[in-house]
Amino acid sequence: MTDPGAYCREIETYLCRRNDGHLIRIVGPAFERVCGWAEAGVPLQVVVQGIDRKLERYQPTGGKRRPLRIEHCEADIFDVFDEWRRAVGVAGTPDRSKQEAEAGQRAPQDHGRPARRRVSLPAHIDRILVQATNMLAMREAMPGLHAALEQVVADLDAIRRDARGARGAARAALLDRLDEIDRGLIAAARTAARSAIEEIEDAARAELASFKARMARAPYARALTACTDRLLRERCRLPTVRFDG
């Protein structure tokens, strides 16, 4: 079970750093809200990513911005949490659903938050091609992953034209092919980062700790693998080739 006090202090410390050293205490209603995140099993890294996502839009065009309060990050944190749950295969809980509904009634309006837009399959393939090509051109890939990224570029370049206007069985076949390419990239990353896999798996276990007791063995094993792959992808800065749109 996550210690709500320690969880809150970690978030407070990170928010202080992102607020250029300006400390805004998480107390009172804000503390109760953050404790609710801990009880719902929201991993600290998810909260961090939600704060970062909010700050991407919160940066002013000129002048000095006011320090960001944790309450204003809640919608983005829930968005990242939903993405995390889908990625690792963890179902939502009634308690969290209730918390989200209550939060929606009391959370500050975020008029700067963009509506989610669906990305087309051709646009997704083009974006992954750009990301992989840039990593190769700028030599940003982890040692041992250059060949795998070159293969990703070759594979996507071969199917990108077929993605335009693909329907039915043809589209399904393309999606299966993207899944296959993505699995190959992750397998290569596991080999390249084998010295760090144990550390990454420990981090994945920590993220899933709040859910382990309510999951059967097989679903938990699948979630642990998916969570490890997610953290591995982040560490290696790899694009997600599979298409979830």
In this prediction the pTM is 0.74
pLDDT at 59 (0 to 100):
66
Rounded Cα–Cα distance for residues 96 and 94 (Å):
5
Rounded Cα–Cα distance for residues 178 and 198 (Å):
27
The answer to whether 11 and 44 have CB atoms below 8 angstroms apart is yes
DSSP 8-state code for residue 215: S
Query: Mean pLDDT for each 10-residue chunk of the chain (245 residues)?
Result: 86 92 90 92 93 82 76 93 90 50 45 60 94 87 89 94 89 95 96 93 93 91 95 92 85
DSSP one-letter string for 3-23: -HHHHHHHHHHHHHHHTTT--
Rounded Cα–Cα distance for residues 210 and 40 (Å):
8
The answer to whether 76 and 53 have CB atoms below 8 angstroms apart is yes
Q: Which two tokens stand for residue 54?
A: 């909010």
